[in-house]
Amino acid sequence: MAENSSALRIVGPTRLAGEVTVTGAKNSALKLMAASLLAPGKNTLYNVPQIADVDIMSELLTRMGCTVAFDRATLTMEIDVPEVPGHKAEYELVRKMRASINVLGPILTRVGIAEISLPGGDAIGSRGLDFHIAGLEALGATISFEHGYIIATAPNGLVGATFELNFPSVGATENLMTAAVLAKGTTTLYNVAREPDIIDLGEYLIAMGARIEGLGTSTLTIEGVDALHAASHSTLPDRIVTGTWAFAAAMTQGDITIKGGRADHLEIPLDKLVATGAVVTSTADGFRVRMDQRPIAVDIATLPYPGFPTDLQPMAISLNAIARGSAMVTENVFEARFMFVNELRRLGANITVDGHHAAVSGVPLLSGAPVAATDIRAGAGLVLAALVADGVTIVEDAFHIERGYPNFAANLRALGADVTVI
């Protein structure tokens, strides 16, 4: 779908009820695709989500010499990687998606040179590449910036090192992991990210022949190997999509069974939903969220995993906007994540922002109005708010949402919402 071409028309208020199936995680699938560059031959990924960002990453890998085949019916992707992949990632693709930076580590360690355009993507904060660069330099890379590109070289290969991240950055952890698996010697990384996506990537690398210890902890020990081989791996379910449906059930006083959802990846968000009055129960292949009353306002502070995910913060604000009472939502990860609050106010939300705090006073019902999505999660948060707004809400720039939520409008309709793609 072309940028700036789609909007969602939502008629509320509505109650969501039924069943929805969660597929592979966006934040994992894109990194698995990038990591495939580490091994020549045919890598196979299962449970790959049908989203726009997967198409962008496929195009990026194709331009680097790979052959990518995606069977949308079975969500299976085959990536045939050449003996010597290309080493340049062009601006026109990288600007559309920050995850493009994840080809930096694999290409640098495999080819000895990488030229990656500085990334674009969501407008949610600076998220500089300082940690990526400092870590790669610790492994022996020489890095410079020319004409909008990061140019990283290691003509004699990378060398194992000890490095501590100042902040448990997911992207930097992933780039350093993928760089270290082919470095000479042992690399020890401290204060790394612990997200399920990191474990998923690590398990894929191990299937390719990498030697990694400490997955799921804040310290990784990686023993470099001479070469990796092609492998198969199934993407873990998307915990942010799962969490979005859980919040949707609570907000709309609904009842949604989330098939494929991993409750163990969402312990803190689900505890917060229980505090709002929701009932969460396990099912054979997921879990169910039911709400029989207007939600009770709940304070939330985002933190790196296993804390409350910053990607669910817009949903938390939207829920508090229609809850009983007042609550404080504190953003500790991305400084610009409150950009969408102005859009939420257009629907009648009572929110005051002070620095990285948002004070939200609930109102019984929001009011439909035209709004615009500024990023993937803000877009989803606005759609959830539209479901509890009286009348018609038009969410412009809905192409953002499609970058992270497969078949979002169709899934909403199946749960009883009145949603039309414009």
Element (H, E) at 19: strand 17-21
Catalytic residue list contains 53: no
3-state secondary structure (DSSP) of residue 262: coil
State the DSSP code for 28.
H
CA distance 113 to 187: 20
CA end-to-end distance (rounded Å), the chain = 12
Hey, what amino acid is at 200? D
Pairwise CA distance, residues 368 & 394, whole Å: 8
Q: Report how far residue 254's alpha carbon sits from residue 398's, in angstroms, rounded to the nearest whole number.
A: 24
Q: Among 53, 71, 80, 122, which one carries the catalytic annotation?
A: 122
Phi (first) and psi of residue 325, to 5 degrees: 100, -165
d(CA 314, CA 310): 8
Report strand pairing: 8-12 vs 418-421: antiparallel
Contact 17, 254 (CB under 8 A): yes
For residue 189, the cross-strand partners are 163, 220
Residue 250: enclosing H or E segment and its boundaries?
helix 239-251
The secondary structure of 190-220 as a DSSP string is ES----HHHHHHHHHHHHTT-EEE-TTSSEE
Residues identified as active-site: 122
